[in-house]
Structure 1
Amino acid sequence: MKGTPAKRSSLFLLELIIAILFFSLTSAVCVQIFVRAHLISRQTQELITALEKVSGFSEVFLAGDSFSALLPEDASVSENADGSAEYLVFYDKNWQLCSSSDATYEIQIRIDPQGALLHGTFTARSASDADDASVIYSRETDYCPEPAQ
């Protein structure tokens, strides 16, 4: 008779250990899912913001206004003898304009003359990486300036 309570308590302890193990594994899987969802959400927000910024610059380019006059003060400008120009606009981690030393993101704008057309390439990328792997969003467009009369 004295052996029965020990068997019951060891069986209960075994069931308890199995239940704790099951819930531990389930919670670990759930945490991984939430972390992955957070990363995807952050990447999506980064893509949306980059798309908005690049689209804004490309619309200014297509409007035909003086492009360099509308750029922020901190923008890096380099114009070449062949008529091409490259602009760099820097943003911090919250996509606010900043200097190049504080930049997390950058938008590179290249404008190349191609005959009567101007070809614009607008690229948003992470500022810490210079390779193409860090490109968040890129857009190319052409603009035909009206001939002078």
Structure 2
Amino acid sequence: MQKLTTHSKSSLFLMEMILSILILALTCTACVRIFAAAKTQRTKARELNHIQELTTSAGEVLEGWDGQISSFSRIFGEPGNSTDNLLHYYYDSNWNGCTESSARYIMNIQLNTSETEKTADISFYDAQQNCLYQLSTAFPDDSRKDVTSKQ
């Protein structure tokens, strides 16, 4: 009669446990990557949302702007810094106005006027000077037409 050899049941259980742990580890790795990507996308979407709000506000102020830097600053808000027609606005990580030294985001607005239109080049940068967004916008300068037509 032939002798039957039986394998230990504990070794099969151990192999099954190791395989289960391996599958669980791979699944957890995939989940962590998905959540990390979602956080990055959420942060980027939040940045773009604030950029859109500020760009829209600057465009609305530009539309009614009379060509004087002081009037633009009075309506939009005092810049943290300005040179000629270039205004610098500084924002912290919560998009609240702050000083240049504690800024996480920087908005630059280059204002220009001509006899027919008023323009603005709006750009946003992070603290490392990486460009996040740029926009050029122009509006007809109706305020100058009124002055010349009255004369």
TM-score (norm 1): 0.83
Shift in Å, 1:9: 0.9
The one-letter amino acid of 1:67's match is F
Give the letter for the 1:103 counterpart: A
Partner of 2:100: 100
Unaligned runs of 5+ in 2: none
8 A Cα contact 1:104 1:126, kept in partner: yes
When structure 1 is superposed on structure 2, of 119-128 and 37-46 the one drifting more is 119-128
In the other structure, the counterpart of 1:26 is 27
> Which structure ranks higher in relative contact order (CA pairs < 8 Å, sequence separation ≥ 6)?
1
Report the alpha carbon displacement of residue 71 of structure 1 after superposing the two structures with TM: 4.2
For residues 61-100 of structure 1, the aligned pairs below 5 Å read 61-65=62-66, 66-79=71-84, 85-100=85-100
Report how far residue 69 of structure 1 moved.
2.1
Larger gyration radius, structure 1 or structure 2: 2
Deviations 1:23-53 (A, max 9, x none): 1111111111111111111111111111111
| Alpha-carbon shift at residue 91 of structure 1 (Å) | 0.4
Alignment of 1:101-120 (within 5 A): 101-120=101-120
TM-score, normalised by the number of residues in structure 2: 0.82
Tell whether the 8 Å contact from 1:123 to 1:137 is kept in structure 2 after alignment. Answer: yes
- Out of 139, 142, 148, the residue aligned to residue 135 of structure 2 is 139
Aligned residue in 2 for 1:82 = none
Partner of 1:67, secondary structure, is helix
CA offsets 1:53-112 (integer angstroms, 9 cap, x no match): 121112111122521322434521111xxxxx1000100010000011110001100012
Percent sequence identity is: 28
SS at match of 1:112: strand
| Structure 1, unpaired ranges of 5+ | 80-84
